[in-house]
Amino acid sequence: QLQLQESGPGLVKPSETLSLTCSVSGDSISTDIYYWGWVRQPPGKGLEWIASILYTGRTYYSPSLRSRVTISVDTSENQFSLKLSSVTAADTAVYYCARRRGGRNYFDYWGQGTLVTVSS
Amino acid sequence: QSVLTQPPSVSAAPGQKVTISCSGSSSNVGINFVSWYQQLPGAAPKLLIYENNVRPSGIPDRLSGSKSGTSATLGITGLQTGDEADYYCGTWDSSLDAEVFGGGTKLTVL
């Protein structure tokens, strides 16, 4: 059974960089069929896609966050990561990592999510 | 403002049927597969429907999906109190080159 687990600081100061890692277990991240992505949800609001990556390093970014986001993959550790720079209070959200079926537009496995609060 | 438009809320009595709409455009719903997710309070989203109308293993046939033109619909029959949740539609937008979600619909089972 595939499992995804987010990890990283729960509190980040304004203007600093948010860094999260998603550890994948139960299957290899090195597959041509699936992308690996990040989706966030501000408190009381809806889902917002951030970025997705294929194990080869091919990436897709949200147009609204592109200038501040980097997604990367580490196939040796079977994990992928997110960096979001210059954070503000508006970046406070639950961050989910998820597996996305390539070419089919759906996320079939999700991590439990991790709350990241931006505050001094 | 979400790219995909959903009603903020819907409600119906136990045992009844409800539909949730997802309106998009020719660059997203009109040409790409739509998926639907259920999010229970405090939980991660769960895939309910993919490729417009396909249920993953374990999803009951009380749930159904359809698409026509630039709109998609999620249907739930035989409503149960356990169906109370937020529901989201999602797809790829070929103009934005981005995943897009609807704003979410809160289902209340009265």
Report pLDDT digits (tens) over B56-105: 999 999 999 999 999 999 999 999 999 999 999 999 999 999 999 999 99
Identify the bridge partners of residue B75 per DSSP, sorted by sequence position: B19, B64
The residues on A that touch B, with CB distances below 8 Å, are 37, 39, 46-49, 52, 60-63, 96, 100-101, 104-108, 110-113
Confidence of residue A72 (pLDDT cuts 50, 70, 90): very high
Which residues touch A120 (CB under 8 Å, ≥6 apart)?
A: A13, A14
Size of interface A-B (CB pairs under 8 A): 67
Q: How far is CA B13 from CA A64, A89, A96, in A?
A: 40, 39, 32
Work out the end-to-end distance of chain A between its first and last CA atoms, rounded to an integer number of angstroms.
39
Which residues touch A34 (CB under 8 Å, ≥6 apart)?
A: A99, A100, A101, A102
pLDDT at residue B1, rounded to an integer? 81
Nearest-Cα residue of chain B relative to residue A38: B99
Q: Is B50 on the interface with A (CB under 8 A)?
A: yes
State the smallest CA–CA distance between residue B80 and chain A in angstroms.
23
Q: Is B47 on the interface with A (CB under 8 A)?
A: yes
Confidence of residue A52 (pLDDT cuts 50, 70, 90): very high
Averaged confidence pLDDT in chain A: 96
| Euclidean distance between CA atoms A21 and A9, whole angstroms | 10
pLDDT at residue A104, rounded to an integer? 85
Identify the bridge partners of residue B88 per DSSP, sorted by sequence position: B37
